[in-house]
Amino acid sequence: MKQTLTFKVNPQKPEMEIIQIAANIIKNGGLVAFPTETVYGLGANALNPKAVKALFRAKKRPLDNPPIVHVENIQEVYRLAKEVPPKAEILIEKFWPGPLTLIFKRSEIVPDITVSGLDTIAIRMPRHNVALALIKESGCPLAAPSANLAGRPSPTTAQHVLEDLNGRIDAVLDAGPTNIGVESTVLDLTVDPPQILRPGGVPYEVLKSILERVELHPVAVADMKVHVDRARSPGMKHRHYAPKARMIVVEGDLEAVVKKVAELTDYYRRRKAKVGVLATDETVASYEADVVKSLGSRSRLEDAAKNLFRLLREFDAEGVDVIIAEGVPSKGLGLAVMNRLRKASGYRIVKASD
Ligand code: TXA
Ligand code: MG
């Protein structure tokens, strides 16, 4: 096992000596985890097939699920993509740097392994000075999936990265907790109308106000397993964001949800299971479980997004057998939260009604 180096960095003004060490690791084909505004990413030179292969191996990620390629200037998009439609230019102008990933037809310079053999590529420019400095100093675009083991909740701190990948990667840049907490929105621009493949940091409503037409892919809003065409939607079939505990999501009107969560808690506790409840500020006092945690207020879904992955990891650390989670409204960042909760539960969803 190799030693993973950890460096503390200033999130606003990253120390250039440290960025240079990290960039040298990337230039030599190594793997460096770094913060973005959404979650921590695990970076490798996107144009070096060996480095990208090592990236898949470190994460134990299936080779058919391509990573997002991160850039720090817009010219790179014209090198990596075969066509940049006018809609893309509008979105780039409006949302980059930021939590919006765009899917383009890819150019010849991109190695097959970086895009899992597809003819498309996912690109974004992150809004984080450490990420931007690292990409710039490395002198190449960075393939960077979330820096967790495949299937585990995405990391929002450097500690989460080390929990999963210590000894499997060369270095991690620790700039404290990330700001948004869920991953970027993935928008496919190779179809008309553009389609959201993964809800994320830029809400659907916001994209709708800019684009005349935009659709949500059925999987992005699914409340059960849906068959997907691999060529269009790689990775959607894989289990994601999952804690070790069995998880159940309860959806419906709040009053009915609280009643159902309490009922399920009681059921599992009588069977001697250690039960965790994922509640909200408005409901947290209603439950008697072994561990009760709050995502934050229902009126601030951006807090739920920020807290979600950390809380799932905390339940695991406390050794609960079952997590019973309240659903939240699917608006704004709530759509991304619900998408992650449903996937994490393996679509074990209970609809509560009076
Ligand atoms: O916020 C984020 O997006 C984070 C940070 C690190 O930037 N990254 C991230 O990467 O979440 P990852 O690899 O964990 O998720 C990438 C998603 C996957 O769902 C993958 O299937 C999809 O993007 N994707 C990548 N290339 C694609 C392509 N060519 N067509 C369709 N989907 C693609
Ligand atoms: Mg991921």
The sheet with strand 246-252 has its strands ordered as: 291-294, 275-279, 322-326, 246-252, 349-352
Nearest alpha carbon to residue 60 among 198, 238, 197: 238
State if residue 234 touches ligand 1 by the CB under 6 angstroms criterion. yes
The sheet with strand 120-124 has its strands ordered as: 5-8, 171-174, 32-34, 41-45, 142-143, 69-70, 120-124, 100-105, 185-188, 195-198, 215-216
For residue 2, what pLDDT band results from cuts at 50, 70 and 90? confident
- Vertex 132 angle, CA 126 and 134, to 5°: 125
| Per-residue pLDDT tens digits for 106-154 | 999 999 999 999 999 999 999 999 999 999 999 999 999 999 999 999 9
User: How much distance in Å is there from the Cα of 122 to the middle of ligand 1?
Assistant: 7
Q: From the alpha carbon of 182, which atom of ligand 1 is closest?
A: 1
Over pLDDT 90: what percentage of the chain? 91
Distances (CA, A) of 292 to 296, 308, 311, 318: 12, 13, 10, 11
User: How much distance in Å is there from the Cα of 92 to the middle of ligand 2?
Assistant: 22
| Per-residue pLDDT tens digits for 37-49 | 999 999 999 999 9
User: How much distance in Å is there from the Cα of 204 to the middle of ligand 2?
Assistant: 20
The alpha helices in 81-213, defined as continuous H runs, are: 86-95, 129-138, 158-165, 204-210
Nearest residue (CA) to ligand 1, atom 6: 41
Average pLDDT for the chain: 95
Q: What is the CATH number of domain 246-352?
A: 3.40.50.11030
State if residue 183 touches ligand 1 by the CB under 6 angstroms criterion. yes
Burial level of 205, CB count in 10 A (0-12/13-18/19+)?
exposed
Lowest average pLDDT, out of 20-24, 227-231, 297-301, goes to 227-231
For residue 226, what pLDDT band results from cuts at 50, 70 and 90? confident
State if residue 186 touches ligand 1 by the CB under 6 angstroms criterion. yes
State if residue 235 touches ligand 1 by the CB under 6 angstroms criterion. yes
Nearest residue (CA) to ligand 1, atom 7: 41
Q: From the alpha carbon of 70, which atom of ligand 1 is closest?
A: 7
Nearest alpha carbon to residue 214 among 102, 339, 127: 102
pLDDT exceeds cutoff 60 at 257: yes
Which class is 5-221 in CATH?
Answer: alpha beta
State if residue 190 touches ligand 1 by the CB under 6 angstroms criterion. no
For a ligand 1 pocket test, name from 101, 104, 236 the mutation site with the most ligand atoms within 8 angstroms of its C-beta. Answer: 101
User: Where are the strands (E) in the chain, listed by range?
Assistant: 5-8, 32-34, 41-45, 69-70, 100-105, 120-124, 142-143, 171-174, 185-188, 195-198, 215-216, 246-252, 275-279, 291-294, 322-326, 349-352
Q: From the alpha carbon of 38, which atom of ligand 1 is closest?
A: 1
180 close to 203: Cβ distance less than 8 angstroms = no
Backbone phi, psi, residue 244, to 5°:
-75, -30
For residue 232, what pLDDT band results from cuts at 50, 70 and 90? low
Domain with CATH 3.40.50.11030 in the chain: 246-352
User: How much distance in Å is there from the Cα of 37 to the middle of ligand 1?
Assistant: 15
Domain with CATH 3.90.870.10 in the chain: 5-221
| Per-residue pLDDT tens digits for 291-345 | 999 999 999 999 999 999 999 999 999 999 999 999 999 999 999 999 999 999 9
Where does residue 241 fall: left (phi above 0), alpha (psi -120 to 50 degrees), or beta otherwise? Answer: left
Task: State the Cα–Cα distance between residues 73 and 311, nearest whole angstrom.
Answer: 34
* Helix/strand number for the chain, H first, E second: 10, 16
State if residue 65 touches ligand 1 by the CB under 6 angstroms criterion. yes
Which residues neighbour 276 within 8 Å (Cβ) at sequence distance 6 or greater?
Answer: 245, 289, 290, 291, 292, 293, 315, 318, 320, 322, 323, 324
Task: State the Cα–Cα distance between residues 311 and 305, nearest whole angstrom.
Answer: 11
| Per-residue pLDDT tens digits for 187-221 | 999 999 999 999 999 999 999 999 989 999 988 88
State if residue 14 touches ligand 1 by the CB under 6 angstroms criterion. no
User: How much distance in Å is there from the Cα of 68 to the middle of ligand 1?
Assistant: 5
Nearest residue (CA) to ligand 1, atom 31: 233
Burial level of 100, CB count in 10 A (0-12/13-18/19+)?
buried
Nearest alpha carbon to residue 215 among 226, 225, 207: 207
First vs last Cα of the chain: how many Å apart? Answer: 55
Ligand showing the shortest atom-to-Cα distance for residue 235? 1
Ligand showing the shortest atom-to-Cα distance for residue 120? 1
Task: State the Cα–Cα distance between residues 339 and 328, nearest whole angstrom.
Answer: 10
